[in-house]
């Protein structure tokens, strides 16, 4: 019997569950497909950059470097700071097969810490520095070791070819090409090169195929900075300062050399100094630029400024006579004194003898408001505009806060603080005929192609005093280096010198310290046509104290070298006897005049006959003598004295050797060295020798 296939339709109870399973499978397939699509979109879009970087990291290493930093040169193009490409050692930790062994090898070759390098290599990063700016020998050793994942890349390193010369001024730059101190920091926006990228391509075994660096790196280099500094003058200034600081067993010192007509800074020297190539071995105190950040009380170097202000207002004339008051003047409840009293002096001789008593009287006649205004006009109490960060203003309280004693003490240099740059800048204004210049340190900025990016021309800030007042003060400053002055050691053979000495006691815990002073000199040369202005300060000298003995010789030493170098011709005959006298090892207190023994009997005084007074006296030879000595001699004679001019006696009437009655009148004409005596005599209507007519 044949078997038949009989189809049996599923009943309702079977169809429902089957359809549910199909639908579930379809939904799961759709969800899985959507998940795949979502994941694919996420990996290809959101994670695209990450995977590209990871992929490239397996065969490419990238290092970000800076282009060459711009050079710094002096006014004649001589290099002060330069950059050179040197190798640095880096690693691709992902390609390092044996981190610990590689670290040990690198430690042996480069002198690095094996533990520190081992940790860097074990992190698996794409890049890590091992040691930057290595020596050529170290680079050759690393290259010969052929360590997997270790490579060399050139980057610029800063060098200072003159070592410590101008070290504190130049400052230094770090390994990343960023200026950290001094000019390197303050003009970093000009000097710094722009960032660029170098890389290398490797095969699957880590072998180097090619290197990158196809950008025109020379176009990314920093700009060159051309300074007003003169390397030769800087060397001379630093050497003269260092030798005198050592000779005086001093704590340190500074020297500023300016060109008064332009405000150009020719030298900024200080000691102690440091080598910017080895800046990490020096202390931050050595990095400090004392020229602009240190303040001090100026002492007697302020006296030319109070005299200049008084002359400019017309309240004082150069030939006004001032009472020395026995070397003591009462101001309120205080007494201001000179160590050696001067009986009488004219206005310019207050500068010559550095008389506190005279300076106080000039300040009183000038008045506090006017004096304050002139001090501000000379640049005290404000930044100089040199362009260096951290420059301080000093302390100059408003005039309304000055009492009588404040006016007095500020007249001879206490009660205010100044920076060395302010003192040099103020004296340069006098040397420049009364015009205050902004100090200029940078002449121009030049790009890598030699094109001028920016130029900084000389700038007159303002006129402070008239040309006549500047000439008169200059005559007083020139007297300082003459007989009777306090700055004879500042003399320079063949040149007329003008300047002022100063000695200021430093403030200690209980007031002013008697054994700690700052000895200073500020002046210019040649006096009749200033080419150089110098400020010199020696801190805490132990072998001597007075500015005339400590600071003035530094000025002379620099001038003797620099003036011929600059082509400034000598105009004066060299007086060897005067030079020998100027070089004598004798301290002169610049706060006072040279003492005259009032008990000494002058040879030219005729003793009276019996008990009567002298019937006639012999007129002494007064030529070449300062006014203080003339006054002392004439007082001893008992005759009246007429004085015209300032400086040393060039003419007198009656003539030397003549006889005159005790109640007679003696007339003297004074002038600075170099002024024609005949002109002075004619102007004053004095007698001259027969045959010597006047024009």
**CA atoms of 453 and 446, how far apart (whole Å):** 5
Phi then psi for 209, rounded to 5 degrees? -100, -45
Q: What is the DSSP string of 219-267?
A: GGPPPEEEES--HHHHHHHHHHHHHHHHHTT-SEEEEEEEETTTTEEEE
- Contact call for residues 123 and 172 (beta carbons, < 8 A): no
CA distances (Å), origin 155, targets 135, 213, 275, 543: 12, 12, 22, 50
Please, which residues have CB within 8 angstroms of residue 564's CB and are 6 or more apart in sequence? none
138 burial (CB, 10 Å; 0-12 / 13-18 / 19+) is middle
Distance of CA 122 to the CA centre of its chain: 49
Residue 666 in tokens: 């003696």
User: Measuring CA to CA, which residue among 205, 149, 158 is closest to residue 179?
Assistant: 158
Instruction: Name the DSSP letter for residue 454.
Output: E
∠ CA 326-328-330, nearest 5°, is 135
User: Measuring CA to CA, which residue among 533, 558, 479, 553 is closest to residue 237?
Assistant: 558
Which of 592-624 are b and which e, b meaning 16 or more Cβ less than 10 Å from the residue's Cβ? Answer: bbbebeeeeeeebeeeeeeeeeeeebbbbebee
Other beta carbons within 10 angstroms of residue 426's beta carbon come to: 28
Please, which residues have CB within 8 angstroms of residue 55's CB and are 6 or more apart in sequence? none
User: Measuring CA to CA, which residue among 297, 555, 562, 548 is closest to residue 420?
Assistant: 297
Q: Which residue is it, tokens 């008992």?
A: 638
Cα-based torsion angle of the residue sequence 156, 161, 165, 171 in order, rounded to the nearest 10 degrees: 0
Crossing angle of helices 303-313 and 356-366, rounded to 10° = 40
- Contact call for residues 388 and 292 (beta carbons, < 8 A): yes
Taking every pair of C-alpha atoms in the chain, what is the biggest distance, in angstroms?
Answer: 195
End-to-end CA distance of the chain: 172
Give SS3 for 203.
Answer: coil
Give SS3 for 635.
Answer: helix
- Contact call for residues 286 and 280 (beta carbons, < 8 A): no
Phi then psi for 62, rounded to 5 degrees? -125, 135
Helices H / strands E in the chain, number of each? 23, 28
Q: Is beta strand 72-73 parallel, antiparallel or unpaired with respect to 224-227?
A: parallel
Half-sphere exposure of 495 (CA within 13 A, CB side): 29
Active-site annotation, residues: 300
**CA atoms of 551 and 530, how far apart (whole Å):** 19
Please, which residues have CB within 8 angstroms of residue 554's CB and are 6 or more apart in sequence? 240, 241, 244, 253, 255, 521, 536, 538
Beta strands in 487-569 (DSSP E): 498-508, 511-525, 532-539
Phi then psi for 308, rounded to 5 degrees? -60, -45
* Element housing 91 (H / E): strand 79-91
């Amino acid at each position: 019997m044949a078997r038949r296939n009989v189809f049996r339709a599923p009943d309702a109870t079977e169809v429902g569950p089957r359809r549910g399973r199909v639908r579930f499978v379809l939904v799961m397939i759709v969800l899985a497909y959507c998940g795949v699509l979502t994941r694919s979109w996420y990996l290809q879009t959101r994670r695209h950059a990450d995977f590209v970087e990871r992929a490239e990291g397996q065969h490419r290493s990238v290092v970000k470097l800076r282009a060459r930093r711009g050079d710094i040169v002096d006014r004649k193009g001589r290099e002060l700071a330069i950059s050179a490409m040197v190798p640095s050692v880096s690693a691709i930790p992902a390609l390092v097969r044996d981190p610990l062994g590689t670290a040990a090898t690198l430690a042996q070759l480069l002198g690095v810490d094996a533990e520190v390098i081992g940790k860097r290599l074990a992190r698996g990063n794409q890049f890590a520095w091992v040691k930057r700016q290595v020596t050529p020998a170290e680079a050759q050793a690393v290259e010969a070791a052929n360590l997997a994942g270790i490579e060399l890349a050139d980057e610029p390193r800063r060098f200072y070819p003159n070592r410590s010369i101008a070290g504190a001024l130049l400052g230094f730059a770090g390994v990343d090409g960023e200026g950290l101190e001094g000019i390197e920091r303050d003009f970093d926006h000009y000097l710094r090169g722009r960032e660029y990228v170098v890389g290398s391509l490797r095969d699957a075994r880590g072998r180097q195929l090619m290197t990158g660096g196809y950008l025109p790196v020379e176009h990314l280099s920093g700009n060159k900075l051309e300074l007003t500094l003169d390397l030769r003058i800087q060397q001379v200034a630093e050497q003269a300062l260092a030798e005198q600081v050592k000779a005086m067993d001093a704590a340190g010192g500074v020297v500023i050399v300016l060109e008064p007509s332009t405000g150009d800074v020719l030298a900024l020297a200080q000691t102690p100094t440091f080598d910017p190539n080895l800046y990490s071995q020096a202390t931050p105190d050595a990095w400090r630029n004392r020229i602009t950040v240190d303040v001090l009380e100026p002492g007697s170097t302020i006296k030319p400024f109070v005299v200049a202000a008084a002359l400019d207002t017309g309240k004082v004339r150069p030939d006004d006579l001032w009472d020395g008051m026995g070397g003591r003047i009462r101001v309120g409840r205080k007494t201001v004194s000179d160590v050696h009293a001067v009986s009488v002096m004219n206005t310019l001789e207050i500068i010559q003898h550095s008389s506190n008593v005279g300076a106080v009287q000039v300040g009183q006649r000038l008045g506090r408001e006017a004096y304050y205004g002139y001090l501000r006009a000379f640049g005290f109490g404000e930044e100089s505009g040199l362009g260096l960060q951290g420059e301080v203003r000093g302390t100059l309280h408003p005039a309304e806060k000055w009492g009588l004693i404040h006016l007095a003490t500020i007249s001879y240099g206490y009660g205010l603080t100044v920076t060395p740059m302010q003192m040099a800048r103020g004296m340069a204004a006098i040397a420049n005929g009364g015009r205050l210049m902004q100090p200029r340190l940078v002449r121009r900025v030049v790009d890598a192609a030699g094109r001028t990016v920016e130029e900084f021309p000389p700038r007159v800030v303002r006129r402070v005093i008239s040309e006549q007042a500047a000439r008169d003060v200059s005559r007083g400053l020139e007297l300082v280096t003459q007989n009777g002055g306090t700055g004879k050691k500042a003399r320079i053979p063949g040149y007329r010198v003008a300047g002022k000495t100063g000695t200021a006691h430093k403030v200690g815990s209980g007031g002013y310290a008697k054994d700690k002073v700052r000895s200073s000199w500020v002046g210019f040369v040649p006096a009749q046509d200033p080419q150089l202005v110098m400020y010199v300060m020696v801190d805490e000298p132990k072998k001597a104290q007075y500015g005339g003995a400590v600071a003035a010789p530094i000025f002379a030493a620099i001038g003797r070298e620099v003036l011929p170098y600059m082509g400034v011709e000598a105009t004066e005959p060299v007086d060897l006897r005067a030079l020998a006298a100027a070089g004598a090892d004798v301290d002169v207190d610049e706060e006072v005049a040279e003492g005259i023994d009032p008990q000494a009997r002058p040879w030219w005084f005729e003793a009276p006959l019996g008990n009567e007074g002298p019937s006639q006296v012999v007129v002494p030879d007064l030529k070449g003598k300062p006014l203080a000595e003339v006054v002392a001699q004439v007082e001893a004679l008992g005759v009246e004295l007429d004085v015209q001019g300032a400086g040393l006696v060039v003419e007198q009437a009656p003539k030397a050797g003549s006889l005159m009655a005790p109640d007679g009148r003696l007339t003297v004409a004074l002038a600075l060295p170099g002024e024609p005596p005949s002109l002075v005599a004619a102007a004053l209507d004095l007698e001259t020798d027969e045959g010597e007519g006047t024009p």
